[in-house]
Amino acid sequence: MEIRDLQAKAAQIRMDVLNMIFRAKTGHTGGSLSNADIVTALYYRIMKIDPANPKAKDRDRFILSKGHSVESLWSVLADRGFFPKEELATFSQFGTKLIGHPNNKVPGIEMNTGALGHGLAVAVGMALAAKRDGAGYRAFCLMGDGEQAEGSVWEAAMAGAHYNLDNLVGIIDRNRLQISGSTEEVMGLEPLETKWEAFGWNVVSIDGNDMQALIDTLEAIPSAAGKPTLIMANTVKGKGVSFAENVPHWHHHVPNEHELSLALGELAATLESYRREGV
């Protein structure tokens, strides 16, 4: 996909997210909107995956460590054909496989996540296995910034550098808000880039809602031989919906009918503008 196509796809993913959460009357809205560009870039341009063979040995691995923001991932997996798109309507309903966190009973999900701080350690193991097996696949792990307060993240970071895992990519959805407010008020993280560099990672800081920047950065990996890469994806929580952006309340706010109509209208206009530019 070209950049405009990816931007349009991300807008559609955001619309899916809002519809899913509205129908289910539950979900994590803000983070799913902020990470939509990241998962779109990975699944439509960067990662080696095959929806027809989701367990292919040479597939790239993706772990959504910030598992509560799963709605965007469900939408992407359905759109890529890992399961029928009609199943999105069952999100968080009784008996569904599409629960509020990644569920490895669903094709395309590598591991159940939700307990923050666990994803990177597993990604380290996957990347290390690839190295030792002489395999060419990569491991990508998307973390939240509030998640950086978990000690297990830093244990995994130390291991990733120790084993020279340049096939490992950590991405932080740095939207600066968590469930109880600003990350810097809840548990100060800065200087976050310096900390990751001190742990031996190659750190690249970008606008995580800029599709061109995401593609340029991800396609350049590994940009430092023998080092894992940490992408500091500076994003806007609630991205794409003007009245939700940078509003802590939208962490898990369920839109009402009026809010949904306004939000879908904004995103539809965004989608149409990208389509016009691509003609």
Q: Could you report the per-residue pLDDT of 206-216, keeping only the tens digit for each? A: 999 999 999 99
Output the six-digit token pair for 160.
């990733």
Name residues whose C-beta falls within 8 Å of residue 82's C-beta, 6 or more positions apart in sequence: 51, 54, 106, 107, 108
User: Predicted confidence band at 72 (pLDDT cuts at 50, 70, 90)?
Assistant: very high
Name residues whose C-beta falls within 8 Å of residue 84's C-beta, 6 or more positions apart in sequence: 78
Q: How far apart are alpha carbons 172 and 43 in whole angstroms?
A: 17
Strand runs labelled E in 17-149? 61-64, 139-144
User: Predicted confidence band at 140 (pLDDT cuts at 50, 70, 90)?
Assistant: very high
Q: How far apart are alpha carbons 50 and 40 in whole angstroms?
A: 15
Q: Is the pLDDT of residue 8 over 60?
A: yes
Indicate the CATH number of 3-278 among 2.40.33.20, 3.40.50.970, 3.40.50.620, 3.40.710.10.
3.40.50.970
Sheet bearing 202-207, strands edge to edge = 61-64, 139-144, 168-174, 229-234, 202-207
Name residues whose C-beta falls within 8 Å of residue 238's C-beta, 6 or more positions apart in sequence: 29, 30, 33, 34, 244, 245, 246, 247, 250
Q: DSSP assignment, residue 208?
A: T
Q: Is the pLDDT of residue 44 over 70?
A: yes
Handedness of CA 88, 91, 94, 96 (dihedral sign): positive
Q: What pLDDT score does 11 carry?
A: 98
Q: What percent of the chain has pLDDT over 90?
A: 96
Q: Is the pLDDT of residue 177 over 90?
A: yes
Q: Which helix (H) or strand (E) holds 172?
A: strand 168-174
* Single-letter code of the amino acid located at 10: A
Q: Which helix (H) or strand (E) holds 265?
A: helix 257-278
* Residue 262, CA atoms < 13 Å, CB-side half-sphere: 9
What number is the average pLDDT over the span 75-79? 98
* Residue 244, CA atoms < 13 Å, CB-side half-sphere: 28
Spatial contact of 61 and 47, defined as CB atoms under 8 Å apart: no
Q: What pLDDT score does 278 carry?
A: 64
Q: DSSP assignment, residue 42?
A: I
pLDDT in tens, 231-245: 999 999 999 999 999
Could you tell me the pTM of the whole model? 0.97
pLDDT in tens, 94-114: 999 999 999 999 999 999 998
Name residues whose C-beta falls within 8 Å of residue 260's C-beta, 6 or more positions apart in sequence: 18, 19, 22
Q: What is the mean pLDDT of the chain?
A: 97
User: Predicted confidence band at 78 (pLDDT cuts at 50, 70, 90)?
Assistant: very high
Task: Name the residue with tokens 């890529």.
Answer: 80
